[in-house]
Amino acid sequence: MKSVKIKDKEFELFLTQETIETAIDNIAQKISDDLKDKNPLFICVLNGSFMFASELMKRVSIPLEVSFVKMSSYDGTESTGKIKEICGLEEDITGRTVVIVEDIVDTGYTMSRMLEQLTAQKPAEIKVVTLLLKPDALKTKVQLDYVALEIPSDFIVGYGLDCDGYGRNYPNIYKIKS
């Protein structure tokens, strides 16, 4: 499909499945080389990363474990605004190599918060993998070890990413028409 419509919003084709999965091949290779013998625990952040996580995991050829978490928002104080907390992590990550698998890093606040909370649990090391990065949108310095694709700051859907809950199932990525 060249374009899609979700509710009243129009989106145009931006990245094909082939482009995305070639980029995933590349980082999967690097991760396999870098983390062999480390018995890593991959922590995939739902909902957005489900499709990326599945394609990435098929391509990483070393012994590893996979787990899933969500970042749930709650209202903080007036100064802190919405606070995001990791929810659903059942594994003990003490002393382990942990790999966070995210769909997209935009301002970087979500990833910073995740890193803060996971670091408090004393893993041996944390690596960050993201399918997409919007470098111009970053508002905080954040650790990023593997970035599959860098994109402009436009709003996108597909390949796990949603618009009001819809569009996550598209095998391509679409960007909003301006």
The residue ranges that bind ligand 5GP (CB under 6 A) are: 48, 103-111, 155-157, 161-162
Whether 106 sits among the annotated catalytic residues: the reply is yes
Looking at the Cβ atoms of 1 and 83, the one nearer to Mg ion is 83
Fill in the amino acid letter for 57.
M
Indicate which of Mg ion, ligand 5GP, none lies near residue 162 (CB less than 5 to 8 Å, by partner kind).
ligand 5GP
Residue of 144, 149, 150, 146 whose CA lies nearest to 35? 146
Looking at the Cβ atoms of 60 and 71, the one nearer to Mg ion is 71
Binding residues for Mg ion, total number by CB under 5 A: 2
Indicate which of Mg ion, ligand 5GP, none lies near residue 34 (CB less than 5 to 8 Å, by partner kind).
none
Decide: is 21 part of the binding site for Mg ion (CB under 5 A).
no
Token pair of 164, please? 């009001």
The distance of closest approach from Cβ of residue 36 to Mg ion in the complex, given in angstroms and rounded to an integer, is 27
Collapsed DSSP state (helix, strand, coil) of residue 117: helix
Phi first, then psi, for residue 98 (nearest 5°) are: -110, 135
Fill in the amino acid letter for 60.
V
Looking at the Cβ atoms of 55 and 103, the one nearer to Mg ion is 103
- Calculated CA dihedral for residues 29, 34, 38, 41, nearest 10 degrees: -60
CB 103, CB 131: distance < 8 Å: yes
Using CB under 5 A, list all residues that contact Mg ion. 48, 103
Residues recognised as catalytic: 106
